[in-house]
Chains A and B, each alone.
Chain A
Amino acid sequence: MNVSRANRVQLVLVMGLLVLLHFYLRPRLGSARVSPDFLLIALVFFAMRSGPGAGALAGFVVGIVNDALTPAAFGAGALAHTVVGYLAAWGRAVFFADNLLVNAAFVAVALWVRDLILLLASGTGQGSLLVELTLNSPLQALSTAGFALVVLAAFREWFAIRLDT
């Protein structure tokens, strides 16, 4: 097995683990609006290890999954995650994100931007928009970034951000 294939298998394993955590662990963690969004972590990590196109496509898929499970405004989640996936891939190129904290910050910002686009696209009222963006989203961004740090630390060997050196 060559290095790139091994990396791909490791990536798939971590993504699978995050998906499992999202659907099996997160419901047990209490408030859904504050508990970590494992799917977003998977998306951001995948996008940062792939190109912008793959990131956008992965974001679209994750967004459709979210829309199917929370169909408040079908398509809003897909749009938000597509943009986040694309920007995460570009952001890695711009910010040279090899630092753990920078990666965690990426996740936090990505979650906040996702919520911003999602709320705007789904036609949320001004009051809810403010409450979500200033209270719930930052809290969830913090918890998600914290868990992203744990994932990165646990799979540091597998999950080195800079792969193509």
Chain B
Amino acid sequence: MASTSERSFTRRDTVTFLACVGLSVVALFSPERWGQGVSDALRNSVLAPLVWLQARAEEGRTSRARLKAITIQRDSAAYLAQGVPSLMAENERLRGLLSLSRRVSSPYVAAEVMHQAQATDGRTLLIDVGRDDLVSEFDPVVAPEGLIGMVLTAGRHSSVVMTWAHPEFRVAAYTVSGNASGVAAPSLSGLAGEGALEFRGVPYRDSVPAGTLVLSSGLGGVYPKGIPVGTVTGVVREQAGWERVYRLLPAANPGAVAHVMVLVSPPGASMERAFPSDSALQAMRLDSIAKVRQADSIATARAEAAKAAAAAKAAAAAKAAAAAKAAAARATPRPAPPPPVAAPPTPAAGDSAR
């Protein structure tokens, strides 16, 4: 039989356990704003040193990878530097196209992602920038591949990002060809659809082929226009006569992303130039090649024209010199013709007749 102290100990344990469970349930079902407020307060006070420590660790990890990437880029650049100058210029242009930080003309803040060990990591991300870095709620968050989500809450030195995998995520979107528009939302329709997005509200008359790139449309004022959201992989369901819902392969994976960019530009800015589609990239590349060729041909034409002009000038000068010489020759007086030599007297005609 248990003693009184053991019973009270057990009772105390049970009471503590039930109190903790009760508090957890209250937290779980409390309004979301309360939970965010408590999270912010904890992150900015008690957990601030731990968040700082994790941010340094993330920086250390990603800086090694970045150093490796930069070394590779430098080696590539050194190799390409031996090539033809026009190729180098082309390479620089392509490098500019591929480097998102150069592409984004609007202000942004680069951030490290601090992944957590929990199973729900990926729906929300913790990043190491906050209000002190000019980040605020509803700022769009992008990776080089495309849209990640938006800032849900911004603390002083850290922020929480709601990714596209969050059940409440929505973004107004349209196809790159511009023939269909709708709303992209996380797919919750079962095993096959998990980890994917759905492109909803597409009018039934608008057919979107697989492989079509879907971009944010800028409607709603949160996400700028032109950020890749995903690629159409097929039809999920359709309601005859009204709408089709397409499955999207997301452009960026929040679970694997190491650093992101928070766009702090004013809403309404367009990002179309920053995220060109494949065809646009191709077009821009062809365009740049054409520009190089055009520049080369213009330079050649200019050289030829200069050469022709020089030749013409030389010919004109020669002609002028010849004309001057001729004129000078005409102006000089001619010498008098020599006097006729006296002929010996010839016999008169009568004489010869004689």
Contact = CB atoms under 8 A, between A and B. Distances in A.
Interface of A: 19-20, 22-28, 31-33, 35-37, 39-40, 51-54, 56-57, 59-60, 63-79, 82-83, 86, 89, 115, 118-119, 121-128, 130-132, 136-137, 140
Nearest to B58: A27
Interface residues of B, number: 60
13 contacts: A23-B57, A26-B57, A32-B115, A32-B117, A33-B119, A33-B255, A69-B116, A70-B116, A71-B35, A76-B120, A125-B188, A127-B194, A131-B195
B132 interface: no
**Residue of A23, A54, A63, A140 most packed against chain B (CB within 10 A):** A23
B16 interface: yes
From A36, A37, A73, A124, residue with most partner B Cβ within 10 Å: A73
Given A23-B54, A78-B24, A70 B121 contact: yes
B84 interface: no
A126 B56 CA distance: 36
Interface stretch (B37-45, B209-217, B333-341): B37-45
A38 to B, nearest CB: 8
Interface in B143-178: 152-153, 160, 166-167
B23 interface: yes
Given A24-B56, A70-B126, A75 B35 contact: yes
Interface stretch (B25-33, B96-104, B197-205, B324-332): B25-33
Contact of B124 (A26, A70, A115): A70
B1 interface: no
Contact of B21 (A35, A40, A68, A79): A79
Given A39-B117, A66-B116, A72 B24 contact: no
Contacts of A64: 27, 38, 42
Contact of A67 (B27, B29, B195): B27
A56 B24 contact: no
Contacts of A115: 118-119
Nearest to B51: A69
- Which secondary structure dominates chain B's binding surface? helix
A119 B36 CA distance: 19
A72 B120 contact: yes
Nearest to B16: A53
B20 interface: yes
B64 to A, nearest CB: 9
A119 B43 contact: no
Contacts of B188: 125
B117 A33 contact: yes
Contact of A137 (B47, B50, B56, B119): B119
Given A52-B17, A79-B21, A71 B28 contact: no
Contact of A69 (B21, B43, B192): B43
Given A66-B116, A70-B126, A86-B17, A51 B9 contact: yes
B12 interface: yes
A82 B88 CA distance: 61
Contact of B20 (A33, A57, A128): A57
Given A23-B57, A126-B191, A132-B119, A68 B47 contact: yes
